[in-house]
Chain A
Amino acid sequence: EVQLVESGGGLVQPGGSLRLSCAASGFIFSSYWMSWVRQAPGKGLEWVANIKQDGSEKYYVASVKGRFTISRDNAKNSLYLQMNSLRAEDTAVYYCASERFLEQFDYWGQGTLVTVSS
């Protein structure tokens, strides 16, 4: 059974940092692109960033470029999102998802809530 389990969310002040993790199991993690997708409270889905199987390519939505960094450790079957210079508008549930590049998101985690507030 495919499982994606996010962790690391919480309350952080504006300008602060947070590192999200996603532990994968039940599939060959190193064979998939992986993404982070977020959902602000009461709002729709927004793709945030993705990373190629070997980590050699990374892409970001314009609003997080230069502030967020996606990375992965295939030996640990784990995906990460380092979030710096956080803003109130980054408040959202962050989901990790397996991705078919340029195509769909097959599997999703349960999400972790990030709240940016003073």
Chain B
Amino acid sequence: QSVLTQPPSVSGAPGQRVTISCTGSSSNIGTGYDVHWYQQLPGTAPKLLIYGNNNRPSGVPARFSGSKSGTSASLAITGLQAEDEADYYCQSYDSSLSGSVFGGGTKLTVL
């Protein structure tokens, strides 16, 4: 049971828009800690995709965007491409656990 809750899977056709939710609580996202997102392609290490709720590191396409409200956050991917098929994880800091916490991960399938 992960501290942050994500849907196990989402899917979409090429060109479509999908969103992945991340729900936390008052000891993490709700306290004001930022949410970050990672993309993990099959057989590879995670890669930072979105940091500080809605910022993209250099090299990440603008098709990826993030948002945060209350105790939840979302990752949106527009113009879905085959190479977006991967696992996506949200992450934040939890003050009651005194450490970083991750969501359980969401597997994105491009139909």
A residues apposed to B, CB below 8 Å = 35, 37, 44-47, 50, 59-62, 95, 99-100, 102-111
What is the chain B residue whose CB lies nearest that of A106? B48
Contact A95 B45 (CB under 8 A): yes
Q: Do B48 and A104 touch across chains, with their CB atoms under 8 A apart?
A: yes
Q: How many residues of B contact A (CB 8 A)?
A: 25
Contact A102 B33, CB 8 Å, known A35-B100, A44-B102: yes
Partner of A44, one of B2, B48, B57, B97: B2
Q: Report B107 CB to chain A, min CB distance, Å.
A: 11
- Let me know if B34 is at the binding interface, CB within 8 A: yes
A contact residues around B47 at 8 Å (CB): 108
- Which of A37, A109, A110 has the largest number of chain B CB atoms within 10 A? A37
Instruction: Name the one of B36, B46, B98 contacting A103, with C-beta atoms under 8 angstroms.
Output: B36
A-B residue pairs, 7 tightest by C-beta: A104-B36, A47-B100, A104-B51, A44-B105, A45-B102, A108-B45, A44-B104
Q: Which residues of B contact A (CB under 8 A)?
A: 2, 33-34, 36, 38, 44-48, 51-52, 57, 89, 91, 93, 97-105
Which residue of chain A has the shortest Cβ distance to B35 in the bound complex?
A: A104
Residues of B near A61 (CB, < 8 A) are 97, 99
- Whole-angstrom distance between the Cβ of A41 and the nearest chain B Cβ: 12
Contacts of A46 in B (CB 8 A): 102
CB-defined contacts of A111 to chain B, threshold 8 Å: 45
Asked whether, in the complex, the Cβ of B52 is within 8 Å of the Cβ of A104, the reply is yes
Instruction: Indicate whether A44 sits within 8 Å of B52 (C-beta atoms), given known contacts A35-B100, A108-B46, A109-B45.
Output: no
The interface residues of chain B lying within 8 Å CB-to-CB of A100 are: 51
| Contact between B91 and A62, CB atoms less than 8 A apart | no
- Give min CB distance, B110 to chain A, whole Å: 21
